[in-house]
Amino acid sequence: MPTAVTHRSASQRLEHWAVATLREAGAIVECERHGWMRERCDPHALARALRIARDDPPRGSCSSDALAAIEDVLAATGDTCPDCSRHGEPEDPPRFK
């Protein structure tokens, strides 16, 4: 059976890397109810993510592109879950490491 190969553009790969890096650093978390990413507003976690982007960007990207991807993901991420806010549900408490 033939399989389909999905190719992502360089910008999509960089965006996925940025999300993974922010999650690993603890700067964003996923709403357990709805799956939206939320910023934790933790300056230390953000500093860790930015340091990773600066010092160890993904292969094929320079540090300025990696830093821009981190900033783009953060700009598109709020500190509340839109679905929780819309339905008046309580937010999941942020989990600190």
Q: Region 21-44: what's the mean pLDDT?
A: 93
pLDDT score of 89: 59
User: Which residue from 52, 13, 19, 57 is spatially nearest to 38, judged by alpha carbons?
Assistant: 19
Q: What is the DSSP string of 22-37?
A: HHHHTSEEE-TTT--E
Q: Output the CA torsion sign for 57, 66, 92, 32.
A: negative
Q: Is residue 22 in a domain? A: yes
Give the range of the structural domain holding residue 78, as residue numbers without chain letter: 10-87
Q: Is residue 3 in a domain? A: no
The CATH number of residue 53's host domain is 1.10.10
pLDDT score of 97: 43
Q: Is residue 1 in a domain? A: no
Q: What is the pLDDT of residues 39-70, one digit of tens each?
A: 999 999 999 999 999 999 999 999 999 999 99
Q: What is the count of structural domains for the chain? A: 1
